[in-house]
Structure 1
Amino acid sequence: MIENLEIGRSGYFYQRKRPLSNEAIEQLFRNLRAQTRHPSQNLFRIVRMQLGEARYSTISFSYERAPSFLAPEAGVSERVFGYLLIVEHGLHIALFKSGLDLTSSFKSAFLGKIASERVERAIARHDAVFEKLRLRNMSISPLALRSKTLEARDLENAVATSSASRFIPQGYSVRRPDGVYSATPTTGRIAVRSDRADVEAAVAWVAEISTLLRLEDGAVSGFIRNFARPLELTAIPPDVRPTFIGIDIMGLSDVLFSADDGVRLVRTGGDATEALSHTEAEAVLASLDQPFPIVTEGGVDQVRLDGGDAQVTTLRIGSTRIALRGLELPALVGISVERRDLPLGEDPNAMPLARYIDRENLFTVLFSDLALAYIDGSLFRDEALAGGGEAFLAHLHVEASLATADSEKGAFAADQVAFAPNSVFRSVVDAVANDDVLLCDDLGDEWADFIGVSTATSPTMISFYHAKHGNQSLSASAFHDSVGQAIKNLGRMSLPGSMLPNKLASWNDRYRNNGVQTEIARMIRGGSPDEIAAKLDAVRSAPDVLQRVFIVTSSLSRAQVEEVLAAASHGTPPTPHFVQLYWLLMSYFSACTEMGVRGYVVCRP
């Protein structure tokens, strides 16, 4: 029957941790049959057959499982056929599969991840033309765009790379003279577009890819080098320490709620096992949706609750991966993960949720070196930070009056016609916003604290201003609300025509706050209501309009940021709070770029 096997040239490639043996394969095959329901006799079964310089092992049989659209408790089964083909070549092991998968114990014992840069050298070489690219943001902020997929005949000529360094290539498809290849470095999957192959052709193809993966040098595509660069964990300098860890809530949600062949959360207690409802599962995820600071004491990287001293786990940074040693959170006690296609409580490979997060690399680690991030089981470097973070500093503008600001809006009186001196709002009106149309949109269904329109410039401009006051600090806490508001309203920067009539009516009024009706005009500059309406219509329909968003804050000093970044470029690690601030603002700048908007922070000198 093995001679009838036809499979695509699409496999998962791994670094071999230690040599396989006949007994290891025999035990794997026994375990595979033991963990399935009512397995049939094997269609074929071969253990470590020599073929050229490679060996292959394969097994195929049918078994019963619950249909994906019915609960296992319904007692209805369908019979499906599955197969595994394991190919050993040199230091690599390749896996082809359908309907069957390796056991977690086998993976842990024999398989390791192939470094992303090796996959790049093998697949994304200098003559590759990129046709498809799936990217993941380096930021752990929930406000940032998490991922995006790009497709074109030639992406290098179709994609702006202004924010590329903050994105990690998770998968790509390239056209080369020898064929169309695709790779997913995070999982080790490599494929080539071709006819289906028999066993001998599949093994020969594995040998070709294995040889490419062994290359120690080779030119990589210049296009892929625009994005965050993969590094070996051994490249982390000894004085660089981890500072924050964030759980990949979106990735975990996908396998819990979206994937047909996903997993479910269960609670075990005594002899009973019960599946968590959607609401209960969401509550578990909510407990994980926070940045966890890391404190290094006595050489141990302790993961703690944000703002407290309670330790929830520790990290172990090895030569090939970072391990998350459990998560001691009350919401996770007794919570395990099991396959959804098996009856409740009958998954032999069920494991605690914390262990599942570690095994699937569903976490991100940030470091005292701001350019580094460990994501999806690999270390990456953002080359945009080379030289002291000029790209970051370019987004920070200075306004001297913010250094003396003592409030956001100030107090209010009935006869007041302007915002209080020394308030951030007053700085926006008098110094920051130079637009010939300026509208106060604070309170109610606000898009920003102020909206500015410049009609005399070329190109014309639409600007949103978000004002915030606070004591001078390098903490991210002062920015969470402003960043959230700014990102949430990026889609309204085109001034949607259907919403403008209500907006114009609200602006044609005096400002009211804290129960005080003032005489402060909400239409601060621009002429009469009709003139302002005409200017808004003209600008919003202009084909070359430039959209800008500003977070105006008295809590940040550009000079202080420059000092920290300069020190970091010379080896002095920043504080964990600054790391969090940096990544929060980077998520804001990145979100603006994705929407075609220029994002800035206006701060004190």
Structure 2
Amino acid sequence: MPERLELTKNAQFYVPKNTIDDAIINDILGAAVDNMDTDAQFVVDLFRADKRVDESELEYKCSVRVFPSVRPVYFINEELEDRVYAFIILIEYQNYLAIFKKSCANISELLKEHFTLVDSRDLTSTFGDNDVEFQKIALRNMTISDRAMRARSYEAADLKGLLSTHSAGRSIPFYLKLRQGAVTKTISGTGRLVESSQRKSLDEIAVWVREQVELIENPSNDNNFLDSFAKKVELSDVLNACEPNAILVESTPLQERIERDGLTLRYKTAGGVNVVISSRIKNKLFAGLEKVYELDPECKVVGRENCTRLRKNEKSLTLTSKVLTKFRVIENGKEVTLQKFIVKNGYYSVTFTDPKYMYFMGACFEDSSGISEINSILEIMHPKLEMPTVTSEKGGFTNTTTAFEVNSMFGVVESLHQNDDYIFCDDLGIEWADHITLNRAESNISFIHSKHGSTMHFSKQPS
């Protein structure tokens, strides 16, 4: 039966905190089918089966459950239900677990308990800058201020060389689209890797999983472009240095997710009855979520100390709110509190008393501006063998001088650019540059500033 499966290359990868055993896999599968239609049967049910692909000499374990699920229909005032088929596929290879799933129930809590996610930073280390073309990137600025731009995205045939990485250290990449040869990949901030391809058989997907694991195990050191952005750090190290001081619910992606997936919002009344909220209440809810909320030294929300706070865990920061627990989201036929939905999907950001840190999408990041720019600055600097022979800036002059001396800085510049179409000496005191050159063949304009000094002078300040 599993041979009938045709899948896309769309997975998340995990590393177990201990060892993978029958109990853990059984718990994950059990949680995933929690939204299974009552009295229905599994279309495919496979538990940790040993599989082998002879032509690739690949051995792996595979667990599969395909099952029908129902969810209420809200666009008509009748008791109708949508019937969909959901699946979860777990592929175990070496010390990795690859998860493929669609329309199944929430398994995030179990995964957090037993596994460590191979995050987007690990996935982007599987290739070097020269191997790919960065076609799209979405960035979250390290701020929650109402007066600042919070997010932006860029798209081009290849962003390398087009997108300035100046001050990129204060930006967190949360979506990346790239082309590697003929293959297009996307990597999201949740650690999901999607590779464009036709649908593949289960064995072919397992071969792809092995390829990704081998790439993860052998990361590239040529990641200068992505290294320019904010780097991930351990939350424990940040909490040892500073404290959270404000929180923002990412209301825009939250609202877009609810509207895109057609999710229903309900409110639990004092009598315990769940009612679908009106548009007026929904708009009021999201207007409240758009605000930035300050935190006191105990991580309680200022003005709402009795009902809302930020909980500090070993590896995460969790938002807890009595108000948000009264709202319910219906997803895949199952009801979860709005608070749990926000936390599960990472729809909140936290800033700290030290502004170089920010918590976003379940991870902590550090501003790497300055340090991350050193390599990119060095890359644009090219040494010239003629410069050590320079003895002055312009050299000497007489009434008959028609060119700068060959051992002057100005003379070296004009010699280096002698093949350009035009060279303008603009040294007039109010110039844009000492020289401006135009090269039509290379579609290039150069602004050149020339300085020379034979000694370093230091002024001693009075004590």
TM over 0.5: yes
Instruction: Report the counterpart of residue 200 of structure 2 in structure 1.
Output: 197
Instruction: Report the counterpart of residue 62 of structure 1 in structure 2.
Output: 68
Task: Give the secondary-structure state (helix, strand or coil) at the position aligned to 1:48.
Answer: strand
The one-letter amino acid paired with 2:299 is Q
Instruction: Report the counterpart of residue 101 of structure 2 in structure 1.
Output: 97
Instruction: Report the counterpart of residue 187 of structure 1 in structure 2.
Output: 190
Give the CA deviation at 1:100. 2.5
C-alpha contact (below 8 Å) 2:175/2:186 kept by paired residues: yes
Percent identity between matched residues is 21
Task: Give the secondary-structure state (helix, strand or coil) at the position aligned to 2:136.
Answer: strand
C-alpha contact (below 8 Å) 1:371/1:385 kept by paired residues: no
Question: Residue by residue, what CA displacement relative to the aligned partner does 1:99-124 show, whole Å, maximum 9, x if unpaired?
Answer: 33443553344344334432221256
Instruction: Report the counterpart of residue 364 of structure 1 in structure 2.
Output: 349
C-alpha contact (below 8 Å) 2:228/2:369 kept by paired residues: no
Question: Residue by residue, what CA displacement relative to the aligned partner does 1:16-46 show, whole Å, maximum 9, x if unpaired?
Answer: 3444433444454455545233464322211
Instruction: Report the counterpart of residue 219 of structure 1 in structure 2.
Output: 221
C-alpha contact (below 8 Å) 2:91/2:206 kept by paired residues: yes
Give the CA deviation at 1:158. 2.8
The one-letter amino acid paired with 1:161 is T
From the superposition, tell whether residues 38 and 124 of structure 1 become closer, same or farther in structure 2 (CA, over 3 Å).
farther
Question: Residue by residue, what CA displacement relative to the aligned partner does 1:259-303 show, whole Å, maximum 9, x if unpaired?
Answer: 22435242243341112222212323333333333344xxxx422
Instruction: Report the counterpart of residue 375 of structure 1 in structure 2.
Output: 360
Give the CA deviation at 1:56. 1.4
The one-letter amino acid paired with 2:48 is R
Instruction: Report the counterpart of residue 265 of structure 2 in structure 1.
Output: 264
Q: How does 1:13-412 map to 2 (within 5 A)?
A: 13-38=13-38, 40-51=40-51, 52-66=58-72, 70-71=75-76, 74-123=78-127, 127-177=131-181, 179-184=183-188, 186-215=189-218, 218-236=220-238, 238-256=240-258, 258-296=259-297, 301-305=298-302, 312-318=308-314, 320-324=315-319, 326-328=320-322, 332=323, 335-339=326-330, 342=333, 347=334, 350-384=335-369
From the superposition, tell whether residues 247 and 124 of structure 1 become closer, same or farther in structure 2 (CA, over 3 Å).
farther
Question: Residue by residue, what CA displacement relative to the aligned partner does 1:230-251 show, whole Å, maximum 9, x if unpaired?
Answer: 2233443723222222221222
Give the CA deviation at 1:322. 2.4
Residue-pair matches, total = 369
Question: Aligned equivalents of 2:234 and 2:325: distance in 1?
Answer: 35
Instruction: Report the counterpart of residue 440 of structure 2 in structure 1.
Output: none
C-alpha contact (below 8 Å) 1:87/1:94 kept by paired residues: yes
From the superposition, tell whether residues 274 and 249 of structure 1 become closer, same or farther in structure 2 (CA, over 3 Å).
same
Instruction: Report the counterpart of residue 9 of structure 2 in structure 1.
Output: 9
The one-letter amino acid paired with 1:363 is Y
Task: Give the secondary-structure state (helix, strand or coil) at the position aligned to 1:196.
Answer: strand
Question: Residue by residue, what CA displacement relative to the aligned partner does 1:24-75 show, whole Å, maximum 9, x if unpaired?
Answer: 44454455545233464322211011234532111113344345x725x522
C-alpha contact (below 8 Å) 1:12/1:189 kept by paired residues: yes
C-alpha contact (below 8 Å) 1:117/1:231 kept by paired residues: no
Give the CA deviation at 1:183. 1.1
Question: Aligned equivalents of 1:226 and 1:76: distance in 2?
Answer: 52
Instruction: Report the counterpart of residue 445 of structure 1 in structure 2.
Output: none
Superposed CA RMSD in Å reads 3.2
Question: Aligned equivalents of 1:225 and 1:130: distance in 2?
Answer: 14
C-alpha contact (below 8 Å) 1:33/1:39 kept by paired residues: no
C-alpha contact (below 8 Å) 2:266/2:274 kept by paired residues: no
From the superposition, tell whether residues 221 and 98 of structure 1 become closer, same or farther in structure 2 (CA, over 3 Å).
same
Question: Residue by residue, what CA displacement relative to the aligned partner does 1:106-155 show, whole Å, maximum 9, x if unpaired?
Answer: 33443443344322212565532211212222221244334333222111
C-alpha contact (below 8 Å) 2:47/2:64 kept by paired residues: yes
Instruction: Report the counterpart of residue 465 of structure 1 in structure 2.
Output: none
The one-letter amino acid paired with 1:152 is A
Task: Give the secondary-structure state (helix, strand or coil) at the position aligned to 1:139.
Answer: coil
Task: Give the secondary-structure state (helix, strand or coil) at the position aligned to 1:83.
Answer: strand
Give the CA deviation at 1:84. 1.5
Task: Give the secondary-structure state (helix, strand or coil) at the position aligned to 1:193.
Answer: strand
Task: Give the secondary-structure state (helix, strand or coil) at the position aligned to 1:255.
Answer: helix
Q: Which has the higher helix share?
A: 1
C-alpha contact (below 8 Å) 2:134/2:177 kept by paired residues: yes
The one-letter amino acid paired with 2:90 is I
The one-letter amino acid paired with 1:43 is V
Question: Aligned equivalents of 1:97 and 1:309: distance in 2?
Answer: 39
C-alpha contact (below 8 Å) 1:11/1:94 kept by paired residues: yes
Task: Give the secondary-structure state (helix, strand or coil) at the position aligned to 2:224.
Answer: coil
The one-letter amino acid paired with 1:366 is T
C-alpha contact (below 8 Å) 1:126/1:219 kept by paired residues: no
Task: Give the secondary-structure state (helix, strand or coil) at the position aligned to 1:210.
Answer: helix
Unaligned runs of 5+ in 1: 388-456, 460-605
Give the CA deviation at 1:157. 3.1
C-alpha contact (below 8 Å) 2:310/2:317 kept by paired residues: no
Question: Aligned equivalents of 1:117 and 1:189: distance in 2?
Answer: 11
Question: Aligned equivalents of 2:126 and 2:236: distance in 1?
Answer: 21
Question: Aligned equivalents of 1:176 and 1:341: distance in 2?
Answer: 34
From the superposition, tell whether residues 292 and 271 of structure 1 become closer, same or farther in structure 2 (CA, over 3 Å).
closer
The one-letter amino acid paired with 2:316 is R
Unaligned runs of 5+ in 2: 52-57, 373-429, 433-463
